[in-house]
Structures are given as structure tokens and as C-alpha cells.
Structure 1
Amino acid sequence: MTSSMIAKRYALALFQIAKEHNLLDEMEEELRVVKEVFTYSSDLKAVLQSPKLEPSEKKTILTTAFASMNQYVVNTLLLLIDRHREGELVSVADEFIELANEERGIAEAEVYTTRPLTEDERKAFSSIFAAKVGKKALRIENIVDTDLLGGVRLRIGNRIYDGSLRGKLDRLERKLLG
């Protein structure tokens, strides 16, 4: 069984529990925190993947680190430790977030701009591009990219909408050389 299939199974089980108990928003936010912690804390990831530590020690670390979180989320993390699936923690969080977004009709989007977007600009991007991808709204992560020169580049899943000056120059160059 591939790693993504394993993560999907755990995420789906947790998602069903979240829906049953009306905890979808809370658990999604907590899993975003878990994902961020494991993405940006290579020390914690290394400790949990160390074969030198007993599973009980790893579980104590997780229980302490995420003590304020919902018990269902913590229990899922502990279950992953029990099953020696420490490497799946971020993937389970990603899969859960994807399920929650699908439930709400939301898509994750990365918007690359030369400056931070205003709230009105975020709403405009959300309403225009959500309709293009068949969603109700977009959850926008604004990434300031000084290499753009001007304009905007938007990524939703595997779709890229490139209205940046850099993209236009690259297309023009390909056209002239081709």
C-alpha cells in the first residue's frame, strides 16, 4: 500500500469523526498547525523518526507538544506512532485539509505578486478564479515574489494562471525563438 493511500485512510477516518462531532473547522485548524510544526521543525521530525526512541517516548513527546489539541487529533497522531507511520503525519494533515476543502467547495490557491494583496484583491481573486475551477471560494496564500517584475501568477492545484510580466516576456521569447 502506497504512502498516499495510507495517509488518505487515516485522514478519511479522522474526517468522518470530525463531521460526526461538528468539529471540522477546529480539527482542520489543528491539523494545519501540526503540518506547520512538522514542516518547519526538522528537529522534531528527526526525533520522531529516530529508531533509537521507543514508541512510548515518541508518544509522550507528541502528547506534550500537542496537549491543547482535540483528543481525536492527538489520538490519530499517537496511532500513527503505534503503527510506525511517523513519516505520514504531514500527509495525513494534507489529506484531511483536502477533504475539508472539498466538503466546503474551497480550493487552495497560491497567488504570487510583487507586493502583499489587500483584502479586496483577495476577495476579487477568490470570486473570479473559484468560478473557473468550479469551487465556491479560494483559500489564498499570498507569496510575494520580487522576480515577477509585475502582474500576478496564480496556482490552484495543478493549474497555473500566469499574468505576470515575467511570464509574458518568457512567452514572447519562446515565440520569437520558435
Structure 2
Amino acid sequence: MTGSTVAKRYALALFQLANEHQLLNEMEEELRVVKEVVNQNTELNAVLKSPRLSIAKKKEILKDTFGAVNTYVLNTLLILVERHRENEISDVADQFIHLANDERGIAEAKVYSIRPLTDVEREALSGTFAAKVGKSSLRIDNIVDSSLLGGIKLRIGNRIFDGSLRGKLERLERQLLG
């Protein structure tokens, strides 16, 4: 996971507040929503990065957009805007989620499969692969990818476990040609 030093510092401060006030789950969910809104809404992104708008106007827009979130989350967003760090919002959310996951012993995993996984399959994958990366469980993001031909491919952080038919065929091809 990459992230600027600035994002890590803001996330750590927010994480400490969340732990202190027992708001870890609530703030994590709110930051996931904030991250999704900031990443998906190009108009909001353009407004936040615009040099023509005053900081006060940007803060007002953030208050209108994220008025329902926790005060600590909103204040962090406002401080980021005030200090011209609008582009760090998504990284701060990522870093906070990473800290929260470490606290709980959870790892984020992207699972590529040819069809959506059932709950039983998700649990089995979580139990098997969480131990391999030293965590208690996995939070699985299932991505359907028909190009795999069969099997699954897992990405946990920088580690990739490729049990897909396509991956096996590519490894076999390299063996035969090498």
C-alpha cells in the first residue's frame, strides 16, 4: 500500500480519535463512503481542486456533501481543504482503513473468479488464505473475470495467489518454452 506521509499522519490522528471514542467501525464505514464519493464524483473532485474557489466555499461544499458524517471525519476533511491537501482525501481514507484492518487482524483481498462467489466459498477462502498472510480473516472484494477460464486468483496486498486455469496454462507455456 502506497500513500504519502501526509496521508499517513492524518489517518493515524483520525485512527487514534476513533479508538479513543470507540468509533472505529462507524468512522471506517464513513471514510469508505467519502472515498467512493470523492473517487466517483468528477464534478466534486474538480470543484475541490479548483484554484478559483475560495477555501471557505470549498469547506461549505464539503459540509453540504458530507454533513451527516462524524464530526471528526468532517473536521479532517475541512483541515485537508484548508491546507490545500484535497488530493490526499482518498489516501487518508485508504490509510485509515489499513490501520483499522491491522487493529482487527483483517486483510483486504481482491478475488477474481469466473462467477460471483457464494458466502460459503467466501468463508472458506477467508479461512484458508488469512492464515497464509498472518491475519484472522479477509475482507473479500469479488471481481468477476471471465478471462480466467476457471479457478480463482487472489490478491492480498502485494501477494498474488493464482489458481486460475489461465494462470496455470501460462505457467505451463513458460515451462515448455523456457
The TM-score normalised by the length of structure 1 is: 0.98
Matches of 2:170 and 2:37 in 1, distance apart? 37
| C-alpha deviation, 1:20, in angstroms | 0.4
Matches of 1:82 and 1:88 in 2, distance apart? 12
Matches of 1:120 and 1:39 in 2, distance apart? 31
C-alpha distance after superposition, 1:122-168 (max 9, x if no partner): 00000000000000000000000011110000000000000000101
Matches of 1:150 and 1:39 in 2, distance apart? 31
Matches of 1:43 and 1:146 in 2, distance apart? 33
| C-alpha deviation, 1:57, in angstroms | 0.6
C-alpha distance after superposition, 1:57-110 (max 9, x if no partner): 110111000111101000000000111100000000000000000000000000
Give the paired residue count: 177
Identity %, equivalent residues: 67
Structure 2, gaps ≥5 residues long: none
Matches of 1:61 and 1:147 in 2, distance apart? 42
- What amino acid is the match of 1:166? R
Matches of 2:169 and 2:37 in 1, distance apart? 38
C-alpha distance after superposition, 1:1-26 (max 9, x if no partner): xx610000000000000000000000
| C-alpha deviation, 1:43, in angstroms | 1.6
Matches of 2:125 and 2:36 in 1, distance apart? 25
- What amino acid is the match of 1:118? T
Matching residue of 1:106: 106
| C-alpha deviation, 1:41, in angstroms | 1.2
C-alpha distance after superposition, 1:15-68 (max 9, x if no partner): 000000000000000000011111111221111001011011110111000111
Within-5 A mapping of 1:40-55? 40-55=40-55
Matching residue of 1:71: 71
Matches of 2:79 and 2:44 in 1, distance apart? 17
- What amino acid is the match of 1:165? L
Matching residue of 1:39: 39
Matches of 2:119 and 2:29 in 1, distance apart? 21
Within-5 A mapping of 1:1-178? 4-178=4-178
Matches of 1:151 and 1:168 in 2, distance apart? 10
The TM-score normalised by the length of structure 2 is: 0.98
Structure 1, gaps ≥5 residues long: none
Select between 11-20 and 39-48 the one with higher mean Cα deviation: 39-48
| C-alpha deviation, 1:174, in angstroms | 0.8
Matches of 2:40 and 2:149 in 1, distance apart? 29
